[in-house]
Amino acid sequence: MSEKPSDVHATRLDAVRDRARALGIDHLVISSGEDMSYLTGERIDSHERLTALVVPADGGAPLLVVPALELTGPVRAAADRVGAVLRPWSDGTEPIPLVAGALSGRVAVSTALPALHLLPLQTAVDGEVLLASDILDPVRAVKAPHEIEQLAEAGRRIDAVHARMGEFLRAGRTEAQVGERITAAITEEGLTHAEFVIVGSGPNGADPHHDLSDRQIGRGDIVVVDIGGPLDTGYHSDCTRTYAMGEADPGFVEAYAVLEEAQRLAREAVRPGVAIGEVDAAARDHLTAAGLGELFIHRTGHGIGLGLHEPPFVTAGADTVLEEGMSFSVEPGIYRSGEWGARLEDIVAVTADGHRALNSGERGLRLLSE
């Protein structure tokens, strides 16, 4: 993966170092995963073999400890971008001392560091070992304009898949058959792959974690379709629309209208300076006032970027203060067990005075005739 501004990784590394110093952390250990992608621009995956970027908070050169057989172009590019010294290790030797030997003082490790490496590392260092999430998460949560554009592009592509839903979602097909067609469309629209495909028809829609089944979709069913995939730069899309097959029960139509308004109110609550819990409250209070609060059984949303689900989380009472550049989903849903589910999800980015929706497809209940 590559990104446009050449100094973007230097800027990110500086921001992370500043925050580490402010929190009294002397060294960071970043393992393969989204934190590594964010800092180096490369998704380095060395499976069970240890790859770790050791970053001194004081501004000294980072160290990139990497399996010798991974010394390929992307790893060298990653090291160049952050000015890291490469420290390869060969099978049959121990990488932990290479990392531990570079550490002193208070150490913070990225959340993706496997226990397989964390436990020996803890034994090998003298001081305290903490999680680096307090350092990385707030930096990653505030997106630069070029990152917002990546999320917007991913959003346009997933919107294009929803716009074609009439081709895929037909009465008589099973959820799995519909899911296969959606999966193909996600790559046709230029996303690298389908990260997830949820087609929850009828009672299956009432399970927010349902993905696909062999249930045949019938006339009159309500169908929740939640889909997403990343661009080749790693930035994700995630969008839910709810469809009605041919006709919908009037009681459901009424409930869906309340959900649509709850989601609009939550989006309208997004602006800098507001606690993120207020966004959750805007949706939840509206549903509760209409007697549907008990059917809304999850948080309102999650941050999105190089991670599909990342901080900040839009949870009741959460006190993260919104800043321009934060991006997250707004996805209230209602679930009537054994009958139906409905969810409406858009990605939004916080702007100087409100929000920008990064999905633009029709939000109302879409009737599909077979």
Positions touching Zn ion (CB under 5 A) are: 226, 238, 240, 329, 345
Closest to 367 measured CA to CA, from 114, 91, 169, 140: 169
Question: CB of 328: closest distance to Zn ion in angstroms?
Answer: 9
Question: CB of 341: closest distance to Zn ion in angstroms?
Answer: 13
Question: CB of 213: closest distance to Zn ion in angstroms?
Answer: 18
CB atoms within 10 A of CB 327: 26
Q: What is the 3-state secondary structure (H, E, C) of 137-192?
A: HHHHHECCHHHHHHHHHHHHHHHHHHHCHHHHCCCCCEHHHHHHHHHHHHHHCCCC
200/202 with CB nearer Zn ion: 200
Closest to 317 measured CA to CA, from 276, 284, 287, 266: 276
233/240 with CB nearer Zn ion: 240
Closest to 164 measured CA to CA, from 253, 221, 241, 218: 241
Question: CB of 282: closest distance to Zn ion in angstroms?
Answer: 17
95/228 with CB nearer Zn ion: 228
Packing angle, helices 8-22 and 73-82, rounded to 10: 60
233/329 with CB nearer Zn ion: 329
Question: CB of 243: closest distance to Zn ion in angstroms?
Answer: 15
The CA R_g of the chain, rounded to the nearest whole Å, is 23
What's 62's DSSP letter? Answer: P
Burial of 174 (0-12, 13-18, 19+ CB in 10 A): middle
67/341 with CB nearer Zn ion: 341
With contact defined as beta carbons under 8 Å apart, do 103 and 126 qualify? Answer: no
37/300 with CB nearer Zn ion: 300
42/345 with CB nearer Zn ion: 345
Question: CB of 235: closest distance to Zn ion in angstroms?
Answer: 14
Question: CB of 330: closest distance to Zn ion in angstroms?
Answer: 9
What's 321's DSSP letter? Answer: B
Q: What is the 3-state secondary structure (H, E, C) of 67-94?
A: EHHHCCHHHHHHHHHHCCEEEEECCCCC
